[in-house]
């Protein structure tokens, strides 16, 4: 049995329209590497014909393997499942939507061979809508500041990992995580390269605005307690300002006297403080929710069956 040197991991969710164009470009790239490889697709509970197409690829393309979930567990869980079954010395994650070209894979392998344990990517001239690009920049900036990591493009899943990084990731049992950030915590020599980016022409994006928010919460709260610290600092500052304002009102009462007209100002200030409290409760609730998910010890995903694995 030949052990693959490169493992390609592709999560799939309702991508029947993009799978064949993906294989038409990906498989020639892998065949041209001159080394053993495997392509692991994880079907994340697709409702279309994706599973039937992938099962056919196992018969038609040597090295293609399929992990079939019994439901939809999310992109990162699909990647983690493939990580546990992968055997390559170099493992590369790739989305099925062809927005990141498979032709960049040899460059990423070359960087790993130079001694880097992670090769991140930066999308050049992104073809996403303006609102999404602006939101992505804000997320990249805030996430790096809060987590202390250095990732120029957190949302790009075209990344290469050395086997040592994958082994450490496989030891983790977190019920929700953000794989690029998790890998970064185990890295000692990461690098980034600029890659091409194309507009999605087939299928639909699987990330709604809500799912993007949830993913960013996982990134920030899963790798940093800075939000809690910032809220504690905000509470201290607010308390000091409140004391100062109370002294001002007391001084004003003795000098000018009581004035009923200021009651609306007090209401506005009260609502402002209530808003801060609710915001803080939400942050604390996010961390408590993560703890709750962990202590339940439920499986992160359920594999229905696998295809092509010996």
Same domain, 154 and 11: yes
Residue 221 lies in a domain: no
Position 214 confidence tier, pLDDT thresholds 50, 70, 90: low
What 8-state DSSP symbol labels residue 3? P
Same domain, 42 and 108: yes
Position 54 confidence tier, pLDDT thresholds 50, 70, 90: very high
What percent of the chain shows pLDDT beyond 90? 41
Residue 218 lies in a domain: no
270 Cβ neighbours under 8 A, 6+ residues apart: none
CB atoms < 10 A from the CB of 17, how many? 17
Same domain, 241 and 186: no
Same domain, 35 and 123: yes
Residue 220 lies in a domain: no
119, 33 contact by CB (below 8 A): no
pTM above 0.85, yes or no: no
Residue 211 lies in a domain: no
Collapsing DSSP states into helix, strand and coil, what is residue 93?
strand
Same domain, 11 and 78: yes
Same domain, 27 and 84: yes
Residue 249, token pair as written in the block: 């009102």
Same domain, 191 and 237: no
Give the pLDDT mean for 248-277: 69
Mean pLDDT of the chain: 81
Position 167 confidence tier, pLDDT thresholds 50, 70, 90: very high
Q: What is the pLDDT of residues 100-143, one digit of tens each?
A: 889 999 999 999 999 999 998 888 776 655 666 666 666 666 66
CA dihedral 178, 182, 187, 193 (to 10 degrees): 0
Residue 240, token pair as written in the block: 């000091």
Q: Total structural domains in the chain?
A: 2
pLDDT at residue number 184: 86
Residue 216 lies in a domain: no
Rounded to whole angstroms, how far apart are CA atoms 276 and 274? 5
Residue 149 lies in a domain: yes
Domain that holds residue 245: 226-296
- Higher confidence at residue 174 or residue 210? 174
Same domain, 114 and 179: yes
46 Cβ neighbours under 8 A, 6+ residues apart: 12, 13, 14, 15, 16
Q: Is the pLDDT of residue 207 over 60?
A: no
CATH number for the domain spanning 119: value is: 3.90.550.10
Residue 250 lies in a domain: yes
Same domain, 283 and 170: no
Q: What is the pLDDT of residues 15-53, one digit of tens each?
A: 999 999 999 999 999 999 999 999 999 999 999 999 999
CB atoms < 10 A from the CB of 79, how many? 24
Residue 66 lies in a domain: yes
Same domain, 143 and 250: no
Same domain, 21 and 150: yes
């Amino acid at each position: 049995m030949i052990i693959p040197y490169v493992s390609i991991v592709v999560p799939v969710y309702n991508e029947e329209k993009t799978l064949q164009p993906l294989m038409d470009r990906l498989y020639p790239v892998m065949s041209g590497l001159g080394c053993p490889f495997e392509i692991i697709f994880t079907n994340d509970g697709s409702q279309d014909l994706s599973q039937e197409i992938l099962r056919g690829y196992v018969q038609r393309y040597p090295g293609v393997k399929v992990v079939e979930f019994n439901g939809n567990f999310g992109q990162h869980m699909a990647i983690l499942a493939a990580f546990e079954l992968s055997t390559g010395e170099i493992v590369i994650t790739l989305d099925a939507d062809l927005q990141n070209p498979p032709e960049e894979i040899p460059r990423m392998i070359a960087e790993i061979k130079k001694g880097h344990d992670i090769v991140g990517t930066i999308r050049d001239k992104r073809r996403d809508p303006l609102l999404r690009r602006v939101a992505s920049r804000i997320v990249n900036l805030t996430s790096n500041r809060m987590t202390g990591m250095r990732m120029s493009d957190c949302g790009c899943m075209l990344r290469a990992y050395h086997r040592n990084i994958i082994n450490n990731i496989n030891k983790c049992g977190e019920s929700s995580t953000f794989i690029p950030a998790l890998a970064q915590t185990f890295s000692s020599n990461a690098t980034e390269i600029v890659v091409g980016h194309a507009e999605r022409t087939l299928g639909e994006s699987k990330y709604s605005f809500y799912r993007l928010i949830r993913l960013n919460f996982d990134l920030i709260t899963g790798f940093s307690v800075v939000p809690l610290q910032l809220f504690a600092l905000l509470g201290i500052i607010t308390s000091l300002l409140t004391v100062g304002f109370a002294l001002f009102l007391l001084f004003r009462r003795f000098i000018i006297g009581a004035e009923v007209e200021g009651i609306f100002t007090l209401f506005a200030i009260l609502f402002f403080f209530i808003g801060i409290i609710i915001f803080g409760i939400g942050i604390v609730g996010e961390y408590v929710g993560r703890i709750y998910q962990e202590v339940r010890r439920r499986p992160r995903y359920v594999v229905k069956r696998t295809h092509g694995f010996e």
